[in-house]
Structures are given as structure tokens and as C-alpha cells.
Amino acid sequence: MNILDKILEILSDDGVQTMNKRDTILEYYRSNPEASIKNIAAKTNASYGYVRNLIALEKPKALIKYQLPSLDDLLVQEGYISDGSTAAYYQLPFDATELQHLISHKDMNAQIGEIFRSAYRYGESSHSTQLRDAKKIRFYIDAEIQRLERKKSI
């Protein structure tokens, strides 16, 4: 008895009941979700196009029924927690087309804005070497640290 015959026969109270072609394909697909459409078509003696269309209709049902995302996955998708690769605070505003838009969007003060600009253009500006950019970044970092320390002591 070949695989097709095994799939076509399912036990019922009245003995053996034969499945129709659609049910045969879906049963094989559910039992072998990693099988290719070509393989399913060959194993169920169906056309490639019929299997492809049937599986395309079945996949959304399978995803909804068997692959509901976990709460953690939903929180990662919505940007509430990071999966280690990205988080909502790394997403660019939809209308940002230049650096100043990002600085304004994040409401950066003067020191942080200068650090951000200097780091972004690091080594690319014709009027500033990497060493000058690094020193500028350090100057503004020190200024920001001093500002925060003064603010903390108040």
C-alpha cells in the first residue's frame, strides 16, 4: 500500500471511509507542513496549481489557529520591549528627511544635538578631521555631564 492509499483510508465507525482529493491534500499538508507543493502534488496525485491554491487558502487558517504570537512577541512587535535587534525608540519618524528632524523629534538640547551631528558626520566633513570631531564630541559630552551634575545638585 503506497502513501496515497494510506492517506485515502481513514477509519470510521462504519469501517473505511475514503477522503476526497481536497481532504487528502490537506491531511498530507498538515502531516507534512515542510513538504513542497510539488512534493504534495506528487504524493496526492493532484496538479501543482490545485495544491498551490488549496494550500494558499489553508495557510492563513493554520497561522491563525496554530501560530498565535505570545504576549512577549506582541510586546516586541509593538516596540514596548526590545528583542535585541530593534525597539520603537529606534524607529524614524515618518516625516524625517534630515538630521535636524531627528534632533527636533527627540527634543535634544544643544550639547546632545552637537554630539549627534558630530558623530553622524565623523570623518566625512572637509573642514573637520576625525580627531577634531572626536575632540568636539568629548567637549560636548563633558559639557552635558557638567550640566547634569549641576542640575542634580540643585
pLDDT tens by residue, 19-70: 678 888 888 888 887 888 888 888 888 888 888 888 877 765 544 445 556 6
- Residue-level pLDDT at 20: 79
Quick one: which of 67, 87, 68 has its CA closest to 77? 87
% the chain with pLDDT above 90 = 27
* CB environment 10-25: b (16+ within 10 A), e (fewer): eeeeeeeeeeeeeebb
* Cα distance between the two ends of the chain: 86
For the domain covering 3-66, report its CATH number: 1.10.10
Show me where the domains of the chain are located.
3-66, 90-153
Report the Cα 19 to chain-centroid distance in Å.
Answer: 39
Decide: pTM greater than 0.85. Answer: no
Q: CB atoms < 10 A from the CB of 138, how many?
A: 12
What residues contact residue 89 under an 8 Å CB cut-off, 6+ apart?
A: 79
- Residue-level pLDDT at 135: 94
